[in-house]
Amino acid sequence: MFQHWGKGLAFLIIASLLLAVGLQFSFNTIAPHVKVELDYGSFIGKTQPILGLERFYGIPFAEPPVGELRFANPIKPTKTYFNRDATERAPACPQQTFGGNTSSEPYQSWLNGKKLNPLGHIKAFGPGQEDCLTLDITRPAGTTNSSRLPVMFFIFPGGFNYGVSWQLTPKFLVKKSMDMGLPIIHVTANHRLNAFGFLGGKEVAEAGVGNLGLKDQRLTMEWIKTYISQFGGDPDKVTIYGESSGAISVSHHLMAHRGQHKNLFRAAICHSGTAIPIGKLSDGAGQQAFDHIAKFVQCETASDKLGCLRKAPFKKLLKAVEMFPGTFSFGAFPLTFSPVVDGEFVTGSIQNALKAGEFAKVPVITGDVLDEGTVLALGTLPLRTEEDLRSFISKKFRDPTPELIAKILEVWPSDPKLGSPLPQGTSMLSRRSINNIRQYSAM
């Protein structure tokens, strides 16, 4: 009897101890919240004790671009947010799929009916939603508004068609800065994409609403200048950096407003991207895409086509975007939706801006990343002949001189083994997909 009760008592004691330990572990690992007050609201973030970080997600930096603010320049928030939950990732802006329209005849005929979709298993970041202009902040735990830490603002990649503020986590970068004894605060933000952010056409030019995605990024920088000190950042020590289309964006910010950057940043870093030659709204850049979209959503005959587009159903507009090639499908380049010369924000070509000295006089780091061009080769196929290549160069570089085309053909050898060495990478993407894409890009 005693033995029976002893075993039962022992079981209860052990169970109680395990429960106590479990509860203690649970209490110790529940991330406490951290709160920051701004003049337009209060925002509650979370801590990550193991990494020693504090993170805020989905802080609005602009009024939602919906209704009459669709296809309009971004404005500062007018709403007040009380104890807004900033502990979970916010939705992305409306996305185009990675592949987009891969059903074009030349694309399919070159493949002899076979489907080339090496990135098909990679999903975009959800369909997204229009109320998306938010930013995320990562900082060392214990940072106060007197810390005055340097700030890095990252602009994500995605060919101006897709992407989201949280697609590349900054936690390891911030942790590394802490380990080095040089802590930073990191900011990422959503901006409008594809037709929602980079629609062209005369209607857009007349309304002064070109380059909305770039303007969203610029408003983020203004937000950082105004509010980052409340998070412990130094508004006078901001570095902007980006990768791929994010790097192209950074380059445009260096030239924007003829280089008048209003001390929004003190340095810039471009990973695999620069302000490539672009079309002018005044010359009709983007008009064909505008007309196709207007027709698709039945705004073709409207007296105010842009106003009609603002009232069009969101899902139908998003479906119209899918009519165009995605970044990783044939016909993607030149990109359908990308920055244009609007005469105000982007005032001219990068070449002319550099010659005229109309750029921000700040330190700049630039470089490449492995396989950046390899994956983008999917958007250039098929280039089967030298004439195909000449045609592609003419479109890519906006009517280059015959001498420039000849020079490119001279330095780019016809032997793929010489001109495209395709080194082996070590990333998961390389192991799973890149090797196949390398084969296509070398054809």
Handedness of CA 159, 162, 168, 169 (dihedral sign): positive
Residue 249 falls in the annotated catalytic set: no
Dmax (CA) for the chain in angstroms is: 101
- Residue 346 and residue 259 in contact, taking contact as beta carbons nearer than 8 Å: no
Secondary structure (3-state) at 399: coil
The residue behind tokens 């990478």 is 425
Instruction: Give backbone dihedrals phi and psi of 98, rounded to 5 degrees, phi first.
Output: -55, -45
Give the residue from 362, 148, 137, 367 showing the smallest Cα distance to 265: 362
Give the residue from 293, 294, 375, 371 showing the smallest Cα distance to 332: 375
Residues 6+ apart with CB under 8 A from 136: 55, 56, 57, 58, 59, 89, 90, 165, 166, 187, 188, 189
> How many CA atoms within 13 Å lie on the side-chain side of 199?
28
d(CA 6, CA 4): 5
Q: What does the CA dihedral 415, 416, 417, 420 come to, rounded to 10 degrees?
A: 130
Instruction: Give backbone dihedrals phi and psi of 315, rounded to 5 degrees, phi first.
Output: -65, -35
Q: Which of 244, 338, 433, 441 is catalytic?
A: 244
d(CA 248, CA 374): 17
Whether omega for the bond prior to residue 416 falls within 30 degrees of 0, making it cis, is no
Active site residues: 244
